[in-house]
Amino acid sequence: MQRFRSTKTLEKLSLKPVRYFLAFFVVIALLAAIVFLANSYQTTLTEHRQRLAYLNHLEVQDTQLTLQQYESLLRIAGNRLVEAGVDENPENGRNSIESMKSINKGLGGFGIARPDGQLLLVSTIPPGVPLPNLLKKEESRAGYLEVLEQDYLVLGRTYFMPELGRWVLPMRVALRDPKTHEVHHVMIAGLALADRSSLWHHGALEEGLVTQVIREKDGYIVARNPLDDDPGNVFLQSLDDETLEALRRYRLQPDQLVEINKGYHCLVSYIEKYGLYIVTEEPLDLLYRAWLQNSLPVLGALLAVNLLCFVVFRYISNLYRRTQTQILFQATHDALTGLPNRRMVYEEISQTITECEVTRHRFAVLFLDLDNFKRINDNFGHAIGDEALKKMAQHLSENPQCHLVGRQGGDEFIVITPQLADHRGIQQVVRNVLQAAQKTLTIEHYEINLGTSIGVGVYPDDGDNAEALLRCADLALYKSKTVKRGEFLFYSAEMNEQAQRRLLVENQLRKGLEREELTVYYQPLYQPQTDQVTCCEALLRWNNPELGPVRPDEFIEVAEESGQIEALGQFVLNRALTDISQLNLQRHTPMQVAVNISAKQLLYSPIVEQLQQALSHQSLDASLLKIEITESVLIADFETAVMVLRQIRQLGVHVALDDFGTGYSSLAYLSRLPCEEIKIDKEFVQNMLIHRDDENLVQSIIAMAKALNRRVVAEGVETLEHLEKLTLFGCDYIQGYYISPPVPLDAFSRFLDDMASARNDEDL
């Protein structure tokens, strides 16, 4: 997808008067709508509140009257059952209790119980069926204890009574002895909440309306209309403390709409005698729906007029814009590919330069040329050639690394990169674009490989205007096609040399491993105290036919950036172990070899497994291998580095910290690092004869290492004076050109032989 901005703006027709009129009319209509909606909402809210208050008031009156009637009924019924001798034989009261049940359709059943909670008789339950003890049932215990303390009807917690197969709201009245006032029986009625003739179930309510009866004492809902599909969710859980507190607060504010449950308006009343809240609530969306219904006619009229004005204006505006857009597109885009042409690219470059002057970022202009495109036209025809150009345009346009892709003409394309902070980022983008442009294209039944050469001009290095950048990119493309097709080339002489050198090193290095151009040299680590060499460092050297000898620091850096470092590291490890194994076959004293491991190898590759495999392949004792890491490993991820190094130490492989003192050195970290050896950087060693501070630093590092039980290697020893001072300081190993430069294996073997001969001569 193209992401560009044209600095060319469409010339506007004289549409301002129409726009102003439309804007004025819309503002007036909007203000009128706001005022009308506010008034309509207040009116609807008042009606809503009055209706809920009326319904709630009816519910309170109905509840009080009905409970009073049930209380009287239960007292009369209970006394009759006692008189009938229900204590001696519960069945004495069967006819009486069943008669009461048939008369009172709203009740699910009657029952009478002793003060200890044992039910004696329950209507509709035949003789012989065991009856529960209400004090032993969790859902009825609290309510039963409460009725023993009260003189009036008490509503218990609603529960499901399996014997009746219904949800029952227990209503209990204590029957007391007139003289002693002691409770001798408790009369119980079970209000079947699913029965439409019962209290709080007078049939279907208005849509969305909900009435709930809640006990103040414990916050349990004892009745609800309409009844929930799963009543257990309603009746078996008490309300939370926050909701109960809200009910207590709002019961003092009659006829006031409140929002206790989110999304509901409700009115709360309180029946003090029975300790009940009567809550009537209705969803807010019903209020909003009524508000909307009241407002729709006026709003519809306003909207219709606005839409009519808008449609007319939109039609005029779109007609004009379509015409202008078509003209502009034809003037600024390529007819074949639909890409911006040179004119549009020129404008975009100018716009990007303006932005970069503020952000201080860079960007690049790329000229792409399809190598040997004429051959495609000649071999496959111009129709296939045109399709190839379209496919290439599509590939480049869909590449997120391309800010804008345009067509210069013929088989040339122009790419503007995104704004980037540095030159390295631009180089990576260019490489990505080159890879995308060199993908195989499938057209009809042909597979076409298009080579691509790229010239690059970078802002601000190569120019501060569009014309200069386009010219530089064009010249760089010409040179790229002349020097080496299928690559990219930067225009700037300085940048060009660096980029070309890095790219060349990267490409040659990739081939160098295959062509066995890389060799491993060995530099001895001399022990001045014993006058022996028992360890050497494996150092990679590269002599390329095209580049000649390449400095290790140069190609190692390129290898790390291009992802080749793991392959190089594996090569050095295998070669070094092979060479040392062969060398040790010829010697009485085994030689240890040190191999450098990069941060990426240690942190992001299976280095432990690689070391195990390499040692196993050569049947070499792990103690004869030492790996050297630099402080950059610690900077990258200290904790992971420590973990991996500990695993390496468990193999028996030794660990040394290379270039100590150049960046991350710290006693705290050094003490935690599982290394046995530190190597003093050669810069400190070489300057110790010149600067007293460096001499003191080297001496301090050696003393510190001794205190931490670490061996010390001094690198860069080039003179006898270096050797003598370091020996005096107690340095364990000396490494440098004074002892020997890095040499091939055969030369290193001769060096060891010469040292042995010299010692023998001294002994004689």
Most confident of 78-82, 512-516, 536-540: 536-540
- What percentage of the chain carries pLDDT values higher than 70? 91
Supply the pLDDT for residue 15. 59
Supply the pLDDT for residue 623. 94
Supply the pLDDT for residue 195. 55
Supply the pLDDT for residue 656. 94
Q: Give the confidence band of 762 by pLDDT, cuts at 50, 70, 90.
A: low
Model's pTM, two decimal places? 0.45
DSSP-H helix ranges across 717-744: 720-729
Q: Give the confidence band of 732 by pLDDT, cuts at 50, 70, 90.
A: very high
Supply the pLDDT for residue 11. 44
Supply the pLDDT for residue 664. 53
Give the mean pLDDT of the chain.
83
Instruction: With a cut of 80, say whether residue 205 has pLDDT above it.
Output: no
CA–CA gap between residue 240 and residue 252 (Å, rounded): 20
Supply the pLDDT for residue 124. 78
Q: Are the beta carbons of 441 and 447 closer than 8 angstroms?
A: yes
Instruction: Report the pLDDT averaged over residues 138-157.
Output: 84
Per the model's pLDDT, the better-predicted residue between 148 and 498 turns out to be 148
> For 431-464, b where at least 16 C-beta lie within 10 A, e where not — what string?
bebbebbeeebebeeeebebebbbbbbbbebbbe
CA–CA gap between residue 712 and residue 338 (Å, rounded): 68
Q: How many CB atoms lie within 10 A of CB 99?
A: 14
Around 184, how many Cα atoms within 13 Å sit in the side-chain half-sphere? 15
Supply the pLDDT for residue 268. 85
Most confident of 106-115, 198-207, 330-339, 561-570: 561-570
Q: Give the confidence band of 231 by pLDDT, cuts at 50, 70, 90.
A: confident
Of 39-43, 287-291, 690-694, the one with minimum mean pLDDT is 287-291
Instruction: Give residue-wise pLDDT tens across range 733-760.
Output: 999 999 999 999 999 999 999 888 877 7
Dihedral, 369, 448, 2, 316 alpha carbons, nearest 10? 110
Structure tokens at 317: 């505006």
Domains of the chain (ranges plus CATH)? 45-285 (3.30.450.20), 333-491 (3.30.70.270), 517-763 (3.20.20.450)
Instruction: Report the pLDDT averaged over residues 254-261.
Output: 71
Q: Give the confidence band of 293 by pLDDT, cuts at 50, 70, 90.
A: confident
Instruction: With a cut of 70, say whether residue 495 has pLDDT above it.
Output: no
Supply the pLDDT for residue 7. 42
Of 195-209, 463-477, 560-574, 719-733, the one with minimum mean pLDDT is 195-209
Instruction: With a cut of 80, say whether residue 678 has pLDDT above it.
Output: yes
Instruction: Report the pLDDT averaged over residues 400-420.
Output: 86
Q: Is the dihedral of CA 742, 744, 748, 754 positive or negative?
A: negative
Instruction: Give residue-wise pLDDT tens across range 364-377.
Output: 899 998 887 777 77
Of 44-48, 503-507, 685-689, the one with minimum mean pLDDT is 44-48
Dihedral, 34, 37, 38, 44 alpha carbons, nearest 10? 180
CA separation (Å) from 689 to 340, 509, 703, 737? 66, 38, 18, 16
Supply the pLDDT for residue 197. 45
Q: Are the beta carbons of 370 and 451 closer than 8 angstroms?
A: yes
- What percentage of the chain carries pLDDT values higher than 90? 23
Supply the pLDDT for residue 1. 44
Supply the pLDDT for residue 626. 96
Instruction: With a cut of 80, say whether residue 294 has pLDDT above it.
Output: no
Supply the pLDDT for residue 201. 52
